[in-house]
Amino acid sequence: MSSNAHITGWGMAVPEKVLTNQELEMMVDTNDEWIRSRTGIEERRIASDDETTASLATEAAINALRVAKLPPSQVDLIIVATSTPEYLFPATACLVQDRIGATTAGAFDLLAACSGFIYALNMAAETIRGGSNKNALVIGSETLSRVVDWTDRGTCILFGDGAGAFVLQASDEPGGIRSSVMRSDGSGGDLLWIPGGGSAEPATNQTVDDSHHFIRMNGREVFRFATRVMARSSEEAIKKAGMEVEDIDLIIPHQANLRIIDAAARGLKLPMERFAVNVQKYGNTSTASIPIAAVEAIEEGRINPGDNLVLVGFGAGLTWGALVATWTGPFAELKPIRMRRYRRLARVRSFLLRWARRLGAIFFGRRGDSA
C-alpha cells in the first residue's frame, strides 16, 4: 500500500527590517494611496547585509522541524524553491542541508518562480507516495530585494524577502496532499524575467550598465494572466481530489496582489473570508508567500487538523499550479526535540568535514589528483 504525504511541520522566517510605503515615497515617484489601492501592500521586509536566501531558508526549516519534532538526521529530501538562490550553484538546498545537519538527505533547488512552492510540495509528495522517501523538507525562500531595481516604481513596490517551510511525512493514514495541478506557458517568459546573468547574457560591464540583472515585468499582462489561472487551476485541483469548492475550508493563494486574490475569490464564488491574506505585511515574497501565509493562518487558529486546503500560485515562466491538502499537524507520538542542539552539532560537523578535506588535500592531494 502506498503512503500518503502529510504536512506535519511548518515554519517561517522574515527579516526584521520593515520597508513601508511611506519610506518608498522617498525613494521613487509613488505614494501610499496608489500602492494600497492597486496592490493591497502596506509594507514589506528587507534582508539585512548578513541575511541571505540560505540563512532565511535555514531558519524557516529549523522552525518547521521543531513543529514536526523531526530530527534533521531523519530528513530524506530537501527541496528549496527559489528565484533568488544563494549561488547559481551549489544549490541553496545543499547549504541548508549542511547548516541543519541533514546527513542522509538529498538536496536540490527548484525554479518555477512564484509557483515554485506548489511544484516543490508536489515533487516531494510524489517521492513519499512512491516509497523512496519518508520525510521531506520543502522550503520557499527569497531575497528579492537583491534583484529589484530600486529606481523602477513599477516593480520595486511589489516585492519583499522571507522564507517558509513545510515538513512532509509518510503515513498510511488518509489525508495529506490529495491532488495537484502544474502548468506552464513559456511563450510568456519575457513578461516577467531577469535578462542577465544566465547563459544567454552572462554578466559583463554592459549587462550591469543596462540593468539586465534586475527584475523586468509587464505588470498589466502578468495581472491579466494571473486573474485567468488562479480560479481555474484551483477548480481543477479540487475536482482531481474528488471534492467540491464547498468542501474547501481555506484557500492559501500566492500573495502578489490583493486584487488578484479578489478576482480568484469571485471566480470561485467564495467570500474573501475563505482566503488567507497577508500581502499587506510582506508584499510578494515569491516562493515564500504561500508557506508564510499558511504559518500565519495556523497561528491565528484558521487551520485545524482535518481541514481541506487549496494552495494556489502563479509566476514567471509563465507557471501556475494548485494543490489540495487535508491538514494533519505533527504526528502525536513524537517527543519534542531541541533544535538548538542539532544546529550546534551541524556546525561542528561541517567545520570538521571542511578541515578533514583540507588536511586530505595537504597529505594526499597529489595522489588523489586525477590530472
DSSP 316: T
Catalytic one of 4, 257, 278, 284: 284
Catalytic status, residue 308: no
Contact criterion met (CB below 8 Å) for 250 and 297: yes
Q: Report helix, strand or coil for 264.
A: helix
191 binds ligand ACO (CB under 6 A): no
Task: Choose the stretch contacting ligand ACO; rule: CB under 6 A; options: 31-39, 54-62, 91-99, 358-366.
Answer: 31-39
The minimum distance between CB 232 and ligand ACO, in angstroms, equals: 17
Contact criterion met (CB below 8 Å) for 314 and 217: no
257 binds ligand ACO (CB under 6 A): yes
The minimum distance between CB 115 and ligand ACO, in angstroms, equals: 7
Please identify, using beta-carbon distances, which residue of 74 and 218 lies nearer to ligand ACO: 218
Catalytic one of 63, 254, 257, 278: 254
Amino acid making up residue 74:
Q
The minimum distance between CB 276 and ligand ACO, in angstroms, equals: 17
Nearest of 86, 44, 90 to residue 278 by alpha carbon: 44
Please identify, using beta-carbon distances, which residue of 92 and 326 lies nearer to ligand ACO: 92
x/- track of binding to ligand ACO for residues 258-297 (CB under 6 A): --------------------------x-x-----------
The residues with which 139 forms a beta bridge, in sequence order, are 80, 165
Contact criterion met (CB below 8 Å) for 265 and 310: no
Buried b (16+ CB within 10 A) or exposed e, 243-264: bebeebebbbbbbbbbebbebb
Catalytic status, residue 212: no
Residue 137, preceding peptide bond in cis (omega within 30° of 0):
no
Amino acid making up residue 3:
S
Could you list the active site residues? 114, 254, 284
Binding interface with ligand ACO (CB under 6 A): 30, 34, 38-39, 113-114, 153-154, 157, 192, 217, 219-220, 222-223, 226, 256-257, 284, 286, 315-316
